[in-house]
A and B are shown apart, each in its own frame.
Chain A
């Protein structure tokens, strides 16, 4: 992780559309050099937050900075160093993929006109679109369009990439390639803010995560910390689950439940060996015993589902 100001920082960023509060006092802090998963169900305010960050939408309240530059005042200086994919690809349908990139390069005041061809070809090659570069955008498949959007986001060297659902519409192979591309960009030193509703995506490539729910940022931390914060779950395999559950509850394990031939509970600071010893001592036959860290889905549900009132 590199030193410096947060790549993205917002302070009580708020956007109200009419009576609807789309983004509610969001305090983002994306450490430089990280891949930050911006996680939330559809409609939770992720895209509006991204539009706010890029200056497309004016905040109702709050402020934010990109790469240490206050926005929107610093937009002219900072946005050339930021690549973005916002709510899907947007290109001129009757221009080819290459011509669409040339167009974006032409309007960039910071781009050296002499390097256009090289930049466009490099960006196309990086996303595997070289062969289809001359085809009209209209004829592109959804996956090709998504790749072209990524090529546009990486048209010039970027310090920050803000990618809204970059694997949307891609087949499994394309999804793997895009994730590998994001990982490669991150290795080169770019900070990536990746918005997604896919938990697996966050688990695979993100080091940090922020969870949006109904316009609010309900959690934000390093992924490891978020997992560590949630207690692991112990599961006993037995032919007498009811007795096992009684023992677990007696030990003080919260959220005890029983299944077919199993009983389980959260290991809230209780040593697993003590659980096993007590089970055996109380005459409950133990056929198997597992301790599993909670997967991200459990954490996510606890943050946005039942746990919402607590975290809110």
Chain B
């Protein structure tokens, strides 16, 4: 029992320390601020413009916002998904190993000692927590702003069926979980890239380019055979969680794809990092 305590408790200290490094850093706080601003801008601008029902040609969620504030959260997630959320996760993931190598703390971290596998596990756990936090932040701020400006009430789903607000909130939570899973896959790619370089910005840019490339390839119909394997292909399937009944086939594929990315890239990161000469 005490042996378990000894091995588990200090790892929570390590994880807490990682989270403190991430969330205590002003750069990251500013990034989270930008993410929180997305739903606010959407909610306020639509409130001010106050378009009549059915007068906009925007995405489905935008048209529904004036009916129910919950859709501010969904609209904000949709807007943030192609760039803002991946960028935020890429910045954190790219920083994990490369950032420590860059400022010279990696050699001291490893000689404390921190076992290299343990470093990768804890640092990846911190990425996961950040990805979930960022997604919930966008959704949470959107929900709060939306309910405040447009009110709540029954939610009209994409298939036209109306459900209660509680059901709608649960579905929003499921959407957040699904999108966070996709971002965690991206985070695993970022962790791997971060073991390749001592330049955290370079790692971040590489991951963002990878994400954008994935979106671009996904939009070329001639490459349809490739689409199921793309990192971002399944992300937009989160809309399926807003149908009645919930359509789970694509979401399941998306989760499977995310899991595969996590396993492959975490393992690649380990293979690269575990035996590497640390000369930074």
Contacts and interface: CB of A to CB of B under 8 A. Distances in A.
Interface of A: 51, 54-58, 75-76, 79-80, 82, 84, 86-95, 102-104, 106-111, 113, 152
A86 to B, nearest CB: 5
Most chain B beta-carbon neighbours within 10 Å: one of A76, A87, A104, A152: A104
B2 to A, nearest CB: 13
B43 to A, nearest CB: 33
A110 B11 CA distance: 11
Contact of A104 (B24, B26, B103, B112): B112
Contacts of A152: 108
Nearest to B115: A76
Contact of A103 (B11, B21, B25, B113): B21
Contacts of A56: 107, 110-111, 277-279
A84 B21 CA distance: 23
Interface stretch (B12-20, B84-92, B188-196, B257-265): B12-20
Contacts of B107: 51, 54, 56, 86-87, 90
Nearest to A102: B17
Contacts of A57: 277-279
Contact of B108 (A55, A80, A86): A86
Contacts of A104: 108-109, 112
Contacts of B108: 84, 86, 90-91, 104, 152
A106 B13 contact: yes
Across chains A and B, which 6 residue pairs bring their CB atoms closest together, nearest first?
A: A90-B104, A79-B113, A106-B17, A109-B10, A56-B278, A57-B277
Most chain B beta-carbon neighbours within 10 Å: one of A84, A103, A109, A113: A109
A234 B143 CA distance: 91
Contacts of B26: 94
18 contacts: A51-B278, A54-B107, A55-B111, A57-B278, A57-B279, A58-B277, A75-B113, A84-B111, A90-B106, A92-B105, A95-B24, A106-B13, A107-B10, A107-B112, A107-B114, A108-B10, A109-B6, A113-B9
B17 A94 contact: no
Most chain A beta-carbon neighbours within 10 Å: one of B9, B26, B104: B104
Contacts of A79: 111-113
Nearest to A88: B104
A171 B120 CA distance: 39
Nearest to A89: B104
A79 B14 CA distance: 17
A94 B278 CA distance: 23
A148 to B, nearest CB: 11
Given A51-B277, A86-B107, A111-B10, 12 more contacts: A51-B279, A55-B113, A56-B277, A58-B275, A84-B108, A87-B107, A90-B103, A92-B21, A103-B21, A106-B17, A109-B10, A109-B11
B222 interface: no
Most chain A beta-carbon neighbours within 10 Å: one of B9, B11, B21: B21
B113 to A, nearest CB: 4
Nearest to B277: A57
A203 to B, nearest CB: 29
Contacts of B55: none
Contact of B17 (A75, A93, A107): A107
Contacts of A106: 13-14, 16-17
A91 B103 contact: yes
Contacts of B20: 103
Interface string B112-130: 1111000000000000000
A94 B279 contact: no
A181 to B, nearest CB: 19
Nearest to B10: A109
B45 interface: no
Given A56-B278, A58-B275, A103-B17, A93 B112 contact: no
Nearest to B275: A58
Contacts of B13: 106-107, 113
A91 B108 CA distance: 9
Contacts of A91: 103-105, 108
B56 interface: no
Contacts of B6: 109
A92 B114 contact: no
A107 B111 contact: no
A85 to B, nearest CB: 9
A19 B236 CA distance: 51
